[in-house]
């Protein structure tokens, strides 16, 4: 016999869309079988009714043959032979009537009864289990929705435990009902074959026995055929018994699992997190905005496919593309007082989708997997080994491009500082790569958010730092921007800052990048503050993109070092050198991640320093204005990179005024 399709009991607990899709095929098959069984039963009942009618008809015929003698025919002489002949025929018809009665009884027992039992027992059982599975699945969805809406406040721990227990009970109930339902559907694939052949086996045997006793007209070949059919039915019945025993044992093993399988977020303190994932699948809550201030959350099945994030609703045959993950970034967010929320941001800095995981383990594994995929590790020859190597540097959680864990041993052309004496850009001269302890003191604390100085905070509360988006001048800061010959804005995300010991070489910036990124990865800090970095010929300003409030401002003269990372071009850092009191100086390194190449920001800062120095000498300023194109209002314009074909500058550059 051909192999029988089966539902895997091991996939009942996961309840994935693929399993639901396969389940729908089995349900469709069961529905078709039910409809066909009803039609087949009607046809068999018609045959059985005809056989009963034959019995009544032959009985009536026998009586009518005997009644011929009792008829008073006017011309009835010489009918004795006819009467005797009719008596013989009546006896033959009575004997045939006995055979027909036996055939009718055999058809009722071997043809009608099995198909009725199959319909009333097996098909009805499948239908009942389907309803129970649907109810259990709905209860689980309701409990999961209630669990997902739990707030993060600690005073709700009792409520959380009650809801988690409710989820576990609903999940256990759904698991048990699905196992029973799957077993019934698997067994139905065997029983339907028996149910189709067994009634016809009884029908054929009854007819053969009828004809054997009546006329013995059937050959031995039919006996061998019926024998082979009987052997086949017995073989299928044996396979069904063996498979039923295997499913019973497997069902017991699957039910006897740890309670943590049913309880979400069972190990919050120390979950076993795999940070080397290059693909991930599971249920997440997707945030959908339904109005200006209203949102809904939908529980969907998400999975990664190459560099894409796919979504597949329950019951769908295939998934659809939700987000291209190449070069995207992911960060933890606070959203509607829900736990385990994270947001995917596009390479252009535009906020993408917001998702919620059901546990801390799923939450961190999704963030790590998306970070690994955004680096395009899946395109390498050995993605698993590449992911392990990258995560050994403890830097995978904060940048979506490449590994940043090693120190730089060669000087890059971007690692140049401004020599203000001869007005030329020269490489920083250092005797070699300094030891990290000479650059940054061991144990130096790292600040992961921007804290404003007290005076600047007061200025912002007075409204003096707010930039008016409509261009009206409300304070002197607008006049200062208009007086600046350079204005360039970049979208950046603040990663961290720390005090440094030296600003003589760019190595201090690379060491600060390494320590900041490693600290973020080790302490699972995924949140980053996005700002607009305004580069002018006077200062560097970090502006809040929502409120247009200046978060921090640095005089350009205090920027002593600036450089982009040699491997991850989107990492940019600079050193601020301040004189707090006479004889006391402080140096701090700031690290950012930008949506554009860090070299462009370095070029803008370098140009700002050149403008500052050139303003001291009118001739030098005039020479500089001739070498760099200007906008219509006389401000400097930053051009794109050199063309690779002809080595000339593009005319349609990006205007430097933000």
Q: What are φ and ψ of residue 422, in 5° steps?
A: -105, 5
Residue pair 635/488 in contact by the 8 Å Cβ criterion: no
Task: Quote the CA–CA distance of 358 and 263 in Å, as a whole number.
Answer: 10
pLDDT of 522 = 72
Q: What are φ and ψ of residue 511, in 5° steps?
A: -65, -40
Residue 618 has pLDDT above 80, yes or no: no
pLDDT of 575 = 94
Residue 476 has pLDDT above 60, yes or no: no
pLDDT of 527 = 72
Two tokens at 439? 């650059």
Residue 416 has pLDDT above 70, yes or no: no
For 551, the 3-state DSSP assignment is strand
Residue 580 has pLDDT above 60, yes or no: yes
Other CB atoms within a 10 A radius of the CB of residue 370 amount to 23
Task: Quote the CA–CA distance of 643 and 634 in Å, as a whole number.
Answer: 25
Cβ-count burial of 593 within 10 angstroms (0-12 exposed, 13-18 middle, 19+ buried)?
A: buried
Task: Quote the CA–CA distance of 106 and 201 in Å, as a whole number.
Answer: 11
**In whole angstroms, how far apart are CA 508 and each of 355, 395, 436, 544, 592?**
37, 18, 8, 27, 15
pLDDT of 630 = 54
Mean of the pLDDT values across residues 402-408? Answer: 36
Residue 621 has pLDDT above 50, yes or no: yes
Give the contacts of 318 (CB within 8 A, at least 6 positions apart). Answer: 312
Task: Quote the CA–CA distance of 658 and 655 in Å, as a whole number.
Answer: 8
Residue pair 372/620 in contact by the 8 Å Cβ criterion: no
For 237, the 3-state DSSP assignment is helix
For 224, the 3-state DSSP assignment is helix
Identify the weakest region by mean pLDDT among 211-220, 243-252, 458-467, 538-547. 458-467
Cβ-count burial of 352 within 10 angstroms (0-12 exposed, 13-18 middle, 19+ buried)?
A: middle
pLDDT of 412 = 40
Two tokens at 140? 């689980």
pLDDT class for 215, splitting at 50, 70, 90?
low
Question: Per DSSP, what are the bridge partners of residue 536?
Answer: 487
Task: Quote the CA–CA distance of 160 and 164 in Å, as a whole number.
Answer: 6
pLDDT of 28 = 92
Task: Quote the CA–CA distance of 508 and 560 in Å, as a whole number.
Answer: 11
Q: What are φ and ψ of residue 164, in 5° steps?
A: -65, -40
Query: Would the CA dihedral through 99, 100, 106, 111 be positive or negative?
Result: positive
Residue found under tokens 């399709």: 5
pLDDT class for 32, splitting at 50, 70, 90?
very high
pLDDT class for 620, splitting at 50, 70, 90?
low
Residue pair 370/353 in contact by the 8 Å Cβ criterion: no
List, edge to edge, every strand of the sheet that includes 329-332.
320-324, 308-312, 295-305, 281-289, 351-356, 341-345, 329-332
Mean pLDDT of the chain: 78
pLDDT class for 1, splitting at 50, 70, 90?
low
Other CB atoms within a 10 A radius of the CB of residue 626 amount to 9
CB-facing half-sphere around the CA of 137: CA atoms within 13 A: 17
Task: Quote the CA–CA distance of 541 and 492 in Å, as a whole number.
Answer: 12
Task: Quote the CA–CA distance of 536 and 474 in Å, as a whole number.
Answer: 19
pLDDT of 566 = 84
For 84-98, how does the pLDDT look when each residue is reduced to its tens digit (9 = 90+)? 778 877 877 887 888
Q: Cα-atom radius of gyration of the chain, to the nearest Å?
A: 42
Task: Quote the CA–CA distance of 465 and 457 in Å, as a whole number.
Answer: 9
For 420-435, how does the pLDDT look when each residue is reduced to its tens digit (9 = 90+)? 333 433 334 343 445 6
Q: What are φ and ψ of residue 238, in 5° steps?
A: -65, -40
Annotate 433-457 with b (16+ C-beta within 10 A) or e (fewer): bbebeebbeeeeebebeeebeeeee
Mean of the pLDDT values across residues 252-269? Answer: 79
End-to-end distance of the chain based on CA atoms, in angstroms?
75
Q: What share of the chain has pLDDT > 70, as a percent? A: 77
Task: Quote the CA–CA distance of 629 and 648 in Å, as a whole number.
Answer: 14
Annotate 216-233 with b (16+ C-beta within 10 A) or e (fewer): eeeeeeeeeeeeebeeee
Q: Which stretches of 500-582 are assigned E, i.e. beta strand?
A: 529-536, 539-543, 550-555, 559-564, 571-581
Mean of the pLDDT values across residues 180-197? Answer: 90
Question: Per DSSP, what are the bridge partners of residue 344?
Answer: 330
Question: Per DSSP, what are the bridge partners of residue 638?
Answer: 654
For 242-252, how does the pLDDT look when each residue is reduced to its tens digit (9 = 90+)? 999 999 999 88
Residue found under tokens 């011929």: 68
Higher pLDDT, 406 or 559: 559
Task: Quote the CA–CA distance of 546 and 556 in Å, as a whole number.
Answer: 25
CB-facing half-sphere around the CA of 543: CA atoms within 13 A: 22
Q: What pTM, to 2 d.p., does this model score?
A: 0.46
Task: Quote the CA–CA distance of 82 and 102 in Å, as a whole number.
Answer: 30
**CA nearest neighbour of 306 among 279, 340, 285:** 279
């Amino acid at each position: 016999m051909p192999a029988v399709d089966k539902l895997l009991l091991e996939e009942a607990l996961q309840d994935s869309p693929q399993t639901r899709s396969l389940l729908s095929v089995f349900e469709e098959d069961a529905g078709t079988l039910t409809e066909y069984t009803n039609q087949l039963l009607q046809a068999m009942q018609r045959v059985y009714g005809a056989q009963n009618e034959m019995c009544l008809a032959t009985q009536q015929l026998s009586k009518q043959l005997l009644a011929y003698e009792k008829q008073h025919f006017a011309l009835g002489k010489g009918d004795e032979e006819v009467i005797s002949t009719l008596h013989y025929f009546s006896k033959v018809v009575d004997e045939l009537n006995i055979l027909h009665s036996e055939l009718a009884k055999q058809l009722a027992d071997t043809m009608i009864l099995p198909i009725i039992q199959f319909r009333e027992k097996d098909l009805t059982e499948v239908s009942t289990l389907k309803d129970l599975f649907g109810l259990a699945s709905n209860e689980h969805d309701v409990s999961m929705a209630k669990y997902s809406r739990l707030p993060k406040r600690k005073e709700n721990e009792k409520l959380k435990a009650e809801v988690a227990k409710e989820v576990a009970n609903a999940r256990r109930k759904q698991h048990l009902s699905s196992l029973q339902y799957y077993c019934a559907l698997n067994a139905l694939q065997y029983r339907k074959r028996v149910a189709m052949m067994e009634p016809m086996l009884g029908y054929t045997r009854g007819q053969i026995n009828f004809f054997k006793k009546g006329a013995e007209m059937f050959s031995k070949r039919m006996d061998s055929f019926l024998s082979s059919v009987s052997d086949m039915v017995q073989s299928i019945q044996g396979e069904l018994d063996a498979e039923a025993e295997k499913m019973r044992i497997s069902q017991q093993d699957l039910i006897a699992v740890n309670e943590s399988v049913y309880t979400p977020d069972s190990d919050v303190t120390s979950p076993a997190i795999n940070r080397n994932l290059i693909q991930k699948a599971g249920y997440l809550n997707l945030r959908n905005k339904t109005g200006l201030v209203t949102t809904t959350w939908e529980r969907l099945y998400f999975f990664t496919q190459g560099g894409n994030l796919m979504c597949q609703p329950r019951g769908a045959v295939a998934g659809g593309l939700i987000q291209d993950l190449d070069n995207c970034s992911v960060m933890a967010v606070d959203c509607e007082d829900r736990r385990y929320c994270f947001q995917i941001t596009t390479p252009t800095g535009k906020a993408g989708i917001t998702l919620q995981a059901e546990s801390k383990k799923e939450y961190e594994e999704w963030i790590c997997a998306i970070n690994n995929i955004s680096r395009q590790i899946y395109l390498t020859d050995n993605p698993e080994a590449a992911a392990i190597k990258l995560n050994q540097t403890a830097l995978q959680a904060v940048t979506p491009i490449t590994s940043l864990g090693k120190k730089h041993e060669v000087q890059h052309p971007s690692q140049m500082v401004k020599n203000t004496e001869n007005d030329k850009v020269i490489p920083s001269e250092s005797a070699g790569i300094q030891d990290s302890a000479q650059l940054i003191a061991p144990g130096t604390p790292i600040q992961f958010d921007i804290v404003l100085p007290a005076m600047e905070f007061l200025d912002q509360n007075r409204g003096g730092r707010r930039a008016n988006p409509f261009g009206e001048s409300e304070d002197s800061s607008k006049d200062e921007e208009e007086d600046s010959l350079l204005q360039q804005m970049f979208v950046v995300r603040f990663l961290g800052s720390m005090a440094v010991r030296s600003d003589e070489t760019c190595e201090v910036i690379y060491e600060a990048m390494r320590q900041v990124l490693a600290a973020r990865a080790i302490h699972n800090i995924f949140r980053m503050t996005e700002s607009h970095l305004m580069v002018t010929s006077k200062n560097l300003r970090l502006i809040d993109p929502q409120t247009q409030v200046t978060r921090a401002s640095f005089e350009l003269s205090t920027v002593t070092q600036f450089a982009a990372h040699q491997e991850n071009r989107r990492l940019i850092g600079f050193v601020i050198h301040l004189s707090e009191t006479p004889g006391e100086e402080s140096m701090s390194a700031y690290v950012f991640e930008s949506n554009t190449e860090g070299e462009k920001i370095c070029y803008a800062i370098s140009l700002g320093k050149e403008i500052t120095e050139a303003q001291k000498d009118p001739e030098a300023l005039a020479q500089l204005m001739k070498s760099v194109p200007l906008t219509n209002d006389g401000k400097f314009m930053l051009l794109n990179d050199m063309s690779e074909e002809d080595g000339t500058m593009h005319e349609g550059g990006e205007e430097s005024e933000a």
